[in-house]
Amino acid sequence: MIGIYGGTFDPVHYGHLRTGLEVKEALGLDELRFLPCREPPHRAVPGATPEQRLAMLKLALTGAEPGLRVDTRELERPGPSYMIDTLASLRAESAGRPLCLVLGIDAFRGLPAWHRWQELTEFAHVVVMRRPDVEADEPDAGLEDWVNRHVTRCGEDLRRRPAGLVHFIRVSQIAISATAVRALVHAGGNPRYLLPDSVLDYMREQRLYQN
């Protein structure tokens, strides 16, 4: 079973890494792929180039837990990085193997703005990370019917079919965001302990996000 964790990773930080590891262990994924997008369709252009963001991800995962890796297919594909296209390419490679698209709660709530979002479950399961203090699943009105058609509360169900389900999973609440890291660096602050030292050293070498 393969997990797909997409994002800009601008820069990657411990919030990404810790929650990714927790999802991998909770679901028993064979591997979790961090998938940096080239051109995010629904947000501003990243502050770092695709090559710089990839370099930071590779540094963060060097010597990391087994099964955590980088998938570069969106960086290699020109144009906007639509997840539906990415999942279609992964499905073509994976035959009947279960795929799990891992989303944070904010990305999940924004799904109705995604390109062909209702087709995502044709190619993969959707795994939604939620805060431990949230007791109930909280789909917005535009998502409620879709979630009710696909939701399962049993993680083992994801192993029994290659795609088609929505599953909510609690992860540690780590109040780190890439936006806050960039703002801190821009203001002359020190982001150490928010992200791996190797990533911080690279940011300083490349003078990323500085004023």
CA distance 90 to 97: 10
Specify the higher pLDDT residue, 63 or 183: 183
Per-residue model confidence (pLDDT) at position 79: 80
Superfamily of domain 2-174: HUPs (3.40.50.620)
Complete edge-to-edge strand list for the sheet that includes strand 31-36: 68-70, 31-36, 2-7, 99-104, 125-130, 166-170
| Residue 141 token pair | 């009105």
What integer is the mean pLDDT of 108-134? 89
pLDDT attached to residue 139: 54
Cα 121 vs. chain centroid, distance in angstroms?
A: 16
What pLDDT shows up at residue 140?
A: 62
Question: What pLDDT score was predicted for residue 127?
Answer: 97
pTM of the predicted model, to two decimals?
Answer: 0.91
pLDDT above 70 covers a percentage of the chain that reads 94
Predicted confidence (pLDDT) at residue 136 exceeds the cutoff of 60: no
Structure-block tokens of residue 78 = 């020109």
pLDDT at position 130 over 70: yes
For tokens 């193997």, the residue is 97
What residue ranges do the domains of the chain occupy? 2-174
